[in-house]
Structure 1
Amino acid sequence: MEYEKKRNQDNKKPNSIIPKYVKFGYHYLISNAMYLLLVPLSITALTHLSKDDFVHFSNHVMHNLVVVTLCIMIIVILATLHFMSRPRKVYLVNFSCYKPDHTLMCSNETFMKATKLTGSFTEESLAFQKKILERSGYGQKTYTAKTFLEVPINMSFNEARKEAELVMFGVIDELLAKTGVKTKDIRILVVNCSLFNPAPSLSAMVVNRYKLRGNILSYNLSGMGCSAGLISIDLAKRLLQIRPNSYALVVSMENLTLAGYVGNTRSMLIPNCLFRMGAAAILLTNRSSDRHCSKYQLVHALRTHKGADDRGYNCVFQKEDINNRLGVALSKDLLPVAGEGLTNNLTTLGPLVLPFSEQILFLVNFIGRKIFKMKIKQYVPDFKLAFEHFCIHAGGRAVLDELEKSLELSEWHMEPSRMTLYRFGNTSSSSIWYELAYTEAKGRIKKGDRAWQIAFGSGFKCNSVVWQALRTINSADEKHNTWIDEIDSFPVHVPDVAPIDC
C-alpha cells in the first residue's frame, strides 16, 4: 500500500533515527521516573533495616491494637464513601451505522444529472457544483435521499418524515439485533438531527415505534450541526450518572429532504453537494455487569463553544437568500474558526490525556516563547502518544488536510476519516461512527487502545470524546459492520486536488 511505502521511506532517512530514539528514551525515562527512583530507594531502605527493627515495630502495633483498629475502620469508611460518590463508569455496548439501499446510490454524474433536471440552477451554478464534486474526495457510491434522484424533486414534509423513519428505524433495528437488549430496558433516549424538527419530535417517533417505557428520559437535539453526535454522547453520559443500572440509546442523523437548496447563491450551494445520507445508533450503559460484553469505556467528553464570537456564530448559518429560498450558507471564516475551536479544545484535552513528558516539553516551549521571547517554533504536542486511533469528522478534505498537518498525523491515522469521506461522504454527526466502524473492520482495535473522536459544528462548536477499548475487536466477528463486505478494497487512492469544503 502507498502509505506503507511512504512510511518505510521516511524511516530510512539517515537523520531521522537519532531524534526518534532520543525522544523515545526521553518519554520512557519521564514516564517511568517514579519506578526508577522508588525501587532503588526501597531496596536500599530494606537492606538497612535489621531484624530487631521489625520486632520492635510488631510489638508497637500489638500494644496499640485499638488505635490501629480505629484507623483501619476510618480508612474503610472513607474508601467506601469515595467509591460511592465517584462518577459511574459509562460503557459503549455496541453501535451501528446505517447503510442505505443500493437504489439510493449517488455518483457524481447521477447528482449532476438530477441537479440539472430540476431546472432551478443557472449554468454558472451547475458548473460550480460540478467543480465542488470533482474536488470533494468523494467516490461514486455515496448515498442521497430518494427525492433527489427523482424528477420532479419532492421536497415535502411528508417525504422528509419518510426519510427520517427509514434511516432511524433501520439503524436502531440493526443495533437492537446486535446487542439483544430489550426495548423496555432502555431508560434514556437522545436523538440529534439539525435541520428536520417535526412535531411530534424525532425522539417521540422512536418512543412510539419501539413502545419505550413511559418514564424514559427523552431528548431531541436540533440545530447543533455536525458536532451534535458527541454532544448527544455527553448528554447521555450525564444522564447515566443519575439513573443507575440503565441503558441509553443515542441516535445521530441528518435529514436531507428538506435541507436541499434550490437557489443560486454560491455559499449555499456547497452543502447541496457535500451532505449525504447516513445515521448511527449507539447503546451506552452504566451497568457494571455489562462491562465484559461492552466494546469501550468512555474516558473523556469535552465541549468547546465559540458562539460568543460573531465569526464563529455566523460561519455556518441557515437563512433565506434574496429570493426567499432557504439554505445553509458557509462563510470563508469556517476554516480559521475551526482551527481556533480545535486549539481551545486541545488546550483543555491535552493535560488530561498527554503523558507528563509531553506536557513538560510544551511548558518549556511556552515559557521560552512567551517569557524569554525566544524565536522558536511553537511546540505541537504529539497526540499519537495519547491515542492509537483518530476519528476526525469527515466534513471535507480541507479540514482533514489541516488537521493532518497541524497534529502531524500519518496517512495511516487519517485513513478512517479519508475513506469514510470517499465512501459515504459527509454524513454530518454520524461520520465519526463510520470511521470507528472502519477501524474495527480493519481489525486495528486492540484491548487498551484509545480512540479519539472529534467533530465540528455550527454555532461554532468543537467537541471531543475519548474511548478506551475494553477488548480486542476481531474483524471476523463484525458480521454486521457496515464496511465488512467491502473492507478488503480499502484504502483506495484519492487524487490530490485543491479542496472545497463545508
Structure 2
Amino acid sequence: MMLLYVLSLLYLLLFLFKLVDQYRHQGCYILHYECFKPSDDRKLNTNLSGSIIKRNKSLGHEEYKFLLRAIVNSGIGEDTYGPRNIIAGREESPALTDGLSEMDEFFFNTLDKLFHKSRVSPLDIDVLVVNVSMLASVPSLTCRIINHYKMKEDIKSFNLSGMGCSASLISTNVVQSIFKSQKNKLALVLTSESIAPNWYSGRDKSMILSNCLFRSGGCSILLTNNRALKHRAKLSLKCLVRTHLGSSDEAHGCCMQTEDDHKNLGFHLGKSLPKVANGAFVENIRTIAPKVLPFRELFRYTMLQKFWDIFSRYTKSGGGKVSLNFKTGVEHFCLHPGGAAVIEAIGKGLELGEHHLEPAKMTLHRFGNTSASSLWYVLGYMEAKKRLKKGDRVWMISFGAGFKCNSCVWEVLRDLEDENVWGDCIENYPPKALANPYMEKFGWIYQEKPESFTFRID
C-alpha cells in the first residue's frame, strides 16, 4: 500500500512538473526585427507623385482634384518609397516578375541583416510565416526564402494572403500558437505588401485612394520561446487579441479588392469604413482591457459607469462620459499609421497626447502607410528615440480588411536603443513644423476638408 502511495505521489509530481515545464516554454520573445529601407532611387517625391497621378488618362478633372486633395491631407512626406515599375511608368502593364522582384528585394535585404545581427543561422529556423496580402505565387513566397537560404527540410512554413494591414499580428499569433505546443523553437515572421502589380488605373473615387496612401516597405521579425535566449530578447508578448467582424455584410464589404464598372481591378475603401473600424476597435478594447489594465482602473471605470447609469435613469438625462485610461497600464502606443485622420481619431478615442501620437505621425511622414509592416516602423521610431525602457509596455493596434482589429501588448525586457532604419534621420524628428510638400505644390486644389475619420470609444 505504501508503495502505491509513493508511486501515486511521484506520478502527481511528474505531472505537475510537466505542466510547469510546458508553461515555462510557452513564452514568445522577439530577439530582433529588421525593417526594410529601399534604395534612394525608389523615393516618391512631390513632383513624381503628381506626374504618376497625371499619367492616369481615365481621370476626369474632378477625380484628379480629388486625388490631389487626398494626398495633400495624407500626412505623407517626400521620402517614402514606391515599386520600380510604377516609378518607371509601367504601372498599367505589370508583370509577375515586378511583384516577385519587389518582394525578393525586401526579403533578402532584411534577412541578411537579421541573421548577421542576431547571430542565428538560417538552418536554425523552425517556423517561417510570410504575410503579403495581394500577391500569391506558385511556388509560394515562403518557398522562395527557403530555397534561397537552403533551410532545413522539416521547417514549418505558412504563407498568408488577403489579411490586410493587420496581418503581422495574425502572423505573430500563428507563431504564438505553435510555441504553446513545441519547446525551444525559432520562428521568422516576414510582413509586407506587394504594391507593384496592384496599381488601380480607373476613376472610381473609392478605389483610387489606395494609389495615394500605400508605400513600399516590410519587416522581418525573429521570435523564440527558448528561455535560454530570453536574456538576448528585446520584447516579450503578454497578450494578443483578434477581433473579426466578417459575419457582417457591411464589415465584409467596406474594404476589399474588387473590379470597377469597367473591369479595372483595384482596392475599394467604402464610406462605412469609419463606422466599421470603430465597432471593431471597441470590441477589441472590451477583450484586451481586463488583460492589461490594473484592477483600480477597471474598478473606477465600472463604478463611474454604474453611477452615471443610475443618475441618467432618475434625471432622464444622457448621463456623463466615462472612459478607460489606458495610460495606467501601457506606457507606449504603437498605432497603425494608416493616415493622418486615422491616427488623430484613435488618439482622440484613447485620449492620447502628442507625445503618444508622435511615433505614428512621424512614421507616416517618413515611410508612409506600408500596410502590415507599418507597426514595426513605429516601434523602431520609439526605439531609435530611446523611449523603450526595461519593464515598459507597448500596445500595438492594427486594422485590416475583413473587417478586423488586432492588437497586442509587448513588455520591454531591456533598455532598447537600436536606431535601425531611422539612423540617418532620427535627429531631425520631430521637426518643429512638419513640412507638407504636397500642400506647397498642390495647395491650389484645396477647397474643403474631406469627410473626417472618427472613432467613438463608448
Same fold (TM over 0.5): yes
Partner of 2:364 in structure 1?
A: 421
1:129 aligns with 2:67: yes
**Matched residue of 1:327: which SS?**
strand
The AA in structure 2 aligned to 1:354 is L
1:249/1:282 contact within 8 Å kept: yes
Partner of 2:46 in structure 1?
A: 108
Partner of 1:446 in structure 2?
A: 389
**Matched residue of 1:319: which SS?**
strand
The AA in structure 2 aligned to 1:108 is T
2:311/2:319 contact within 8 Å kept: no
Residue 373 of structure 1: how far off its partner (Å): 4.0
Mapping 1:318-397, distance limit 5 Å: 318-370=257-309, 373-374=312-313, 375-397=318-340
The AA in structure 1 aligned to 2:340 is R
Larger Rg: 1
Separation (CA, whole Å) in 2 of partners of 1:89 and 1:494:
40
Deviations 1:377-414 (A, max 9, x none): 23111101111111111111121111111101110011
Residue 442 of structure 1: how far off its partner (Å): 0.3
Partner of 1:398 in structure 2?
A: 341
Partner of 1:409 in structure 2?
A: 352
Partner of 2:28 in structure 1?
A: 90
Separation (CA, whole Å) in 1 of partners of 2:81 and 2:26:
39
Separation (CA, whole Å) in 1 of partners of 2:115 and 2:449:
42
Separation (CA, whole Å) in 2 of partners of 1:308 and 1:391:
28
Separation (CA, whole Å) in 2 of partners of 1:166 and 1:108:
24
Partner of 1:241 in structure 2?
A: 180
> Taking structure 1 as the reference length, what is the TM-score of the superposition?
0.82
The AA in structure 2 aligned to 1:132 is A
Separation (CA, whole Å) in 2 of partners of 1:115 and 1:201:
32
Deviations 1:346-373 (A, max 9, x none): 1000001101111011211332344664
Mapping 1:135-214, distance limit 5 Å: 135-153=73-91, 154-214=93-153
1:218 to 146, 157, 177: 157
Q: 1:82 to 1:372 in 2, by over 3 A?
A: farther
1:365/1:379 contact within 8 Å kept: yes
Partner of 2:230 in structure 1?
A: 291
Separation (CA, whole Å) in 2 of partners of 1:390 and 1:255:
27
**Matched residue of 1:361: which SS?**
helix
Separation (CA, whole Å) in 1 of partners of 2:450 and 2:335:
17
1:190/1:251 contact within 8 Å kept: yes
Greater Cα shift, 218-227 or 71-80: 71-80
Separation (CA, whole Å) in 1 of partners of 2:223 and 2:400:
23
Separation (CA, whole Å) in 1 of partners of 2:331 and 2:372:
22
Greater Cα shift, 144-153 or 308-317: 144-153
2:185/2:225 contact within 8 Å kept: yes
Deviations 1:447-471 (A, max 9, x none): 0010111100000000011110110
Q: 1:421 to 1:84 in 2, by over 3 A?
A: same
> Taking structure 2 as the reference length, what is the TM-score of the superposition?
0.89
1:132/1:500 contact within 8 Å kept: no
The AA in structure 1 aligned to 2:52 is A
Residue 164 of structure 1: how far off its partner (Å): 1.2
1:118/1:151 contact within 8 Å kept: no
Q: Which runs of 5+ in 2 are unaligned?
A: 1-5, 437-447, 454-458
Tell me the percent identity.
Answer: 37
1:136/1:500 contact within 8 Å kept: no
Separation (CA, whole Å) in 2 of partners of 1:249 and 1:74:
37
**Matched residue of 1:346: which SS?**
helix
Separation (CA, whole Å) in 1 of partners of 2:114 and 2:22:
32
Deviations 1:261-302 (A, max 9, x none): 000000000000000000000000011111011101111111
> Between Structure 1 and Structure 2, how many residues are aligned?
430
**Matched residue of 1:273: which SS?**
helix
Root mean square deviation, CA, Å = 2.2
Q: Which runs of 5+ in 1 are unaligned?
A: 1-68
Q: 1:143 to 1:321 in 2, by over 3 A?
A: same
Separation (CA, whole Å) in 2 of partners of 1:438 and 1:80:
42
1:188/1:218 contact within 8 Å kept: yes
Deviations 1:135-185 (A, max 9, x none): 001111110111111134341112111111111221222211221101111
Residue 82 of structure 1: how far off its partner (Å): 3.8
Partner of 2:434 in structure 1?
A: 494
